[in-house]
Amino acid sequence: MSRSGAPLVAIQGERGAFSELAVRSLFGRRARILPCAEFDALFRAAETGRCRYALAPVENTIAGSIHRVNDLLLESTLKVAGEAVIRVSHALVALPGVRLRDVRRVYSHPVALAQCERFFRRNPRLTRVATYDTAGSVRLLREEEARDAAAIAPELAARLYGARILKKGLEDHRANFTRFFALSRDGVALGPADKTSVLFSTRHVPGALFRCMGVFALRDINLLKIESRPIRGRPWEYVFHVDFEGSPKEDRCRNALRHLEEVCDFVRVLGSYPRARTPGA
């Protein structure tokens, strides 16, 4: 276990964002947090050794993959040490004394704005202002002393910045979860590893993906996820992201990874780590 001490963990966005909930679930209350404005800076913080871990959101059950993070996973040498799954619930937050009918502008991250479509359809007078972060939007209200604006953010952010919750559960869908990777330079798993993530791209021949799937199927290895992502700058070429049960400590998994290299152009093992449970599932 790497949970000893109080590791410094980088997150994208301000304190009080959903990433902070993920940090708490993996590293507990004592972990210290380094906020980063952008995903590039988040990865750099762990790559340069400035912090021990970078906490990166990889997919959301409503919005799908977080593209920029997946691009960075491909480019970076960081490895996955753990994963966390957080339930996403959006609150409408404003400064004390501001009422719902005063609000004209709503700040939040574009993904959060998109997840509250029903709310905006019911309130067409509201202007949606895209910002870099959910919790950072609450801080922005403070800085501007905004009396005609609100933010969409986790409830935790309202508490942290002394704001008030005007409305809870703004999200269109309740089955809204975000999955995070804890990334580190050494990739030492945060507990007994029973799940592995790998990226690969296939050769451009018929049946290429069939052969890749065979690597796992012929060894009775259970796939937990497969996703294809366009490769930036190479239109209509894709990299596959596969999660499977097991870790290279088992012979069949080690053999499968060796076999995968035989049939692929490119293979990168992101890491092996303890599988996270979905809250309430």
Q: Which residues contact 67 (CB under 8 A, 6 or more apart)?
A: 229
Residue with smaller CB distance to a second copy, 96 or 280: 280
178 is catalytic: yes
127 binds a second copy (CB under 8 A): yes
Number of neighbouring beta carbons within 10 Å of residue 144: 13
Binding mask 8-47 for a second copy (x = CB under 8 A): ----------------------------------------
Residue type, 168: K
66 close to 43: Cβ distance less than 8 angstroms: no
Q: Minimum distance from CB of 52 to a second copy (Å)?
A: 27
Binding mask 148-187 for a second copy (x = CB under 8 A): -------------------------x-x-x----------
With CB under 8 A as the contact rule, the residue among 30, 67, 118, 258 that binds a second copy is 67
Residue with smaller CB distance to a second copy, 113 or 157: 113
The residue among 29, 72, 97, 118 whose CA lies nearest residue 232 is: 72
235 binds a second copy (CB under 8 A): yes
With CB under 8 A as the contact rule, the residue among 210, 249, 258, 265 that binds a second copy is 210
Residue with smaller CB distance to a second copy, 160 or 215: 215
Q: How many angstroms separate the CA atoms of 85 and 9, rounded?
A: 17
225 binds a second copy (CB under 8 A): yes
Residue type, 30: R
Q: Minimum distance from CB of 168 to a second copy (Å)?
A: 20
Site size toward a second copy, by CB under 8 A = 46
281 SS3 class = coil
CA distances from 174 to 11, 50, 62, 158, 250 (A): 24, 36, 10, 20, 37
57 close to 10: Cβ distance less than 8 angstroms: no
Q: How many angstroms separate the CA atoms of 72 and 92, rounded?
A: 31
Q: Which residues contact 114 (CB under 8 A, 6 or more apart)?
A: 63
Check 178, 181, 200, 202 and give the catalytic one.
178
Stretch near a second copy under the rule CB under 8 A, chosen from 50-58, 157-165, 221-229, 253-261: 221-229
Q: How many angstroms separate the CA atoms of 180 and 191, rounded?
A: 16
181 is catalytic: no
Cα angle value 51/54/60 (rounded, 5°): 165
Q: What positions carry a catalytic annotation?
A: 178, 180
Give the footprint of a second copy on this chain (CB under 8 A).
Answer: 59, 61-65, 67, 110, 113-114, 127-131, 173, 175, 177, 206-207, 209-211, 213-214, 216-217, 220-230, 232-236, 238, 278, 281
